Structure 1
Amino acid sequence: MVSIIANKKVLIITPFDKDQRGNSITTARLLVGLTSRGFQIDRLSLERENWQEYLKDALAKSKYALIHGFHARYFGEVLQAIPQMRNIPLILTTTGTDIHCDLLGEKRSMILDTFQTVQKIVVFNDDFHQIIQDVYPGFQHPARPSLSLAEKLVTIPQGVFLEPGAEKNRGELGLSEDQVVFLLPSGLRRIKHIELAIDSLSAVQDEFPEVRLLIMGAAIEEDYTRKILNRMRGLDWVIYLEEIPHSEMMSVLRLGDIVINTSYCEGQPQGALEAMSLGKPCILTGVPGNLNIIEQGVEGFYVGNQEELVEAAKILVQDPVERHLMGQRAAQLTASKFTLGQELDAYSRIYRQFLRQARD
């Protein structure tokens, strides 16, 4: 491997790295993991003030043999700003909102151009293959008309990686051992539909006062954050921890009993998978990105509305034995299908393929 990748650097381009969001956590995880396997990798955030100047200079000096972008819309904007990138191999990982929100939006033609330009398109879930191909049924690569979109698409599920941080106890967060704690690891964004969790668990908490909701995530959208904080006002059973350093997530997630994800759509619910790996059953909205992760009623529940979320929550609150069994099955699922080793293996194969071509 070393002979293949020697002196061939890779650049990872992430839209964000300041807040702990899916893109920032995923790219940081891959940077560390793939570097440990011998790859030479830099990471560039589009939040960096001089990112365009840095990238133009790096390309002029032929610093990178491969560029790996995250999020189709943001990476498409980079391609438009720096067209000389098209002269080297490009990989794109789609991450969620680019598939669900941007494919049919005003940036549709730019995303098509991005898909045509890159050599590989990584998705987290097989379901996304058909979604993308349905949007672009007449896809044709300008340089290789025979190359289909299906040939570019590859599924690489995200790997779970949690750093063992300092142990915490429930008392530090104002929680007691007899309470049933629902975990909602999510930044405050409209697409995360956090009010569904609060409204649903309010109905559960009326009947089961031991219920608590722990929300952890950056305040990303100002207006939506204000709305959620107003909704929480007076609800002493809802605790908002704001942004938790990822190095501390394991110790916080261990304190909960059930993890929930209420998004309108997802790329793949990284926070939910992390909690599941620690033996927490889940309640997930039945939307693309969440679907086909679990089996209904085995590792948790899929829900489509507030009534279904209330019903699923009550089952898990009332039956601690079933809650434990579902949690154990959730841990087994993540250990078999969402491991860091599997993720790094898959990206390593792609990196080697293109770096070998660059060497030749």
Structure 2
Amino acid sequence: MRICYFADGESIHVIRWCKYFASLGNEVHLISFKNVAIENVQTHFIDTGSIAVKGGNWKVLLKYRKVKKILKQIRPQIFHSHYATSYGVTGAMCGFHPYLITALGTDVLISPQQSKIYKLLLQYAFSKTDWITAMSDHMKSAIESLGVNPEKISTVPFGIDPDVFNDADRKLIPGKFIITSTRNFEPVYNIPHLIYAFAKAKQANAAIHLNLIGTGSLQKEIKTLVHEKGLDDDVTFYGKISQSKIAEVLNQSHVFVSTSLSDGNNISLNEAMACGAFCIATNIPANTQWITDGKNGFLVNINDVETLSSLMLQAIQNFDALQSVAIPFNKKMISEKAIWSVNMKKVEEKYESLILKK
């Protein structure tokens, strides 16, 4: 197959898709507003200037003619955008088929609620698609609420690579209790909330340590907050690291925490579950589909610092008992619902069927 993705080339999710389908022997192209190089993938950069993480990048819509020109050169059998509001809308304007959009979370859960213009643009983009994938059922419902035919939408969780994320090399450090977050430093992931809760828990238990894996626009603010709380020696900033290194850190962690305000499907949570960390996450649909509160993890309301701090301490005090229930439960759930290669096989089969219909 000759597949052309239209997406953020710096996104770990996009890189995974491109590399995976290239590894199957397909000719894979990526058109992106980010200038990147990906092994075995032919990349095509369109310069739009700076792209704001928080959105409002209307100027990208004006680049659809350049995208269309590149498509004429590539002549792909599949044209697939990731992220519905920017790449998805711009891709829809090209009039190419088969055309697919993968929604990633904020694009369908938050953007159409914030702006009528976003809502109208999404309705337009989805009307031009041959297939839409959502990372979770609650995202699928959000897309359906825009008036999209449910038969065009499939729930396809991205899932994890079990060769990377597993607990085969799990080794906890004696004398320490390690808490880890792998969420980026953007407003939606609410890392300051985690810092406040950790600082409070630290007052009750000096043995706890916090790992922060990620980067983002709030990095300076978060580092300043850690310093102001006197936690410089108690928080490790890893920055952006490889998938294998993330797995290594998770395998040394007792607890994984996600304080996200919104998520499509919390893949970071799946990775932590696979590595055997006990999970605490916000009480949002992306997490409730994976965590049964008190059974295989804890759920906490958004911005509830007191409760999050208390749950961290509960996890320390009852760690072995909690893990005796959580670990087998999580292994079963991951194997049934969250294996990357299994879920991508469904995508491959859909690609082939769309090509035959063309």
Q: TM above 0.5, one fold?
A: yes
Distance change >3 Å, CA 125–CA 299, structure 1 → 2: same
Q: Secondary structure at the match of 1:44?
A: strand
1:282 deviates by 0.7
Q: Secondary structure at the match of 1:95?
A: coil
- Determine the structure 1 residue equivalent to 2:323: 324
Query: Where in structure 2 are the equivalents of 1:112-261 lying within 5 Å?
Result: 112-134=123-145, 136=146, 139=147, 149-161=149-161, 164=164, 176-218=173-215, 220-221=216-217, 224-233=218-227, 234-235=230-231, 236-261=233-258
Match for 2:76: what amino acid? Y
Gaps of 5+ in 1: 1-7, 18-23, 140-147
2:162 touches 2:339 (CA, 8 Å); kept in 1?
Answer: no
Match for 2:349: what amino acid? R
* Counterpart-to-counterpart distance in 2, 1:114 and 1:242: 35
1:41 deviates by 2.1
Q: Secondary structure at the match of 2:246?
A: helix
Gaps of 5+ in 2: 36-44, 48-62
* TM-score normalized with structure 1 length: 0.82
- Determine the structure 2 residue equivalent to 1:142: none
Q: Secondary structure at the match of 2:260?
A: coil
Query: Where in structure 2 are the equivalents of 1:59-78 lying within 5 Å?
Result: 59-61=71-73, 63-78=75-90
Match for 1:95: what amino acid? L
Between 1:51-60 and 1:298-307, the stretch displaced more is: 51-60
Which of 257, 267, 270 aligns to 1:270? It is 267
What is the aligned length?
A: 323
Q: Secondary structure at the match of 1:87?
A: coil
Matched, 1:50 2:46: yes
Distance change >3 Å, CA 239–CA 323, structure 1 → 2: farther
Matched, 1:339 2:339: yes
* Counterpart-to-counterpart distance in 2, 1:268 and 1:274: 12
* Counterpart-to-counterpart distance in 2, 1:169 and 1:297: 23
1:189 deviates by 0.3
1:316 touches 1:322 (CA, 8 Å); kept in 2?
Answer: no
1:4-24 CA-to-partner distances (Å, cap 9, x unmatched) read xxxx4111122241xxxxxx2
Matched, 1:92 2:101: yes
Greater relative CO, 1 or 2 (CA 8 Å, sep 6+): 1
* Counterpart-to-counterpart distance in 1, 2:67 and 2:163: 31
Q: Secondary structure at the match of 1:228?
A: helix
* Counterpart-to-counterpart distance in 1, 2:133 and 2:263: 15
Match for 1:127: what amino acid? H
1:31-79 CA-to-partner distances (Å, cap 9, x unmatched) read 2333333433222322134365863333223521211111111224423
Between 1:204-213 and 1:184-193, the stretch displaced more is: 204-213
Distance change >3 Å, CA 201–CA 33, structure 1 → 2: same
1:96 touches 1:289 (CA, 8 Å); kept in 2?
Answer: no
Q: Secondary structure at the match of 1:103?
A: helix
1:251 deviates by 1.6
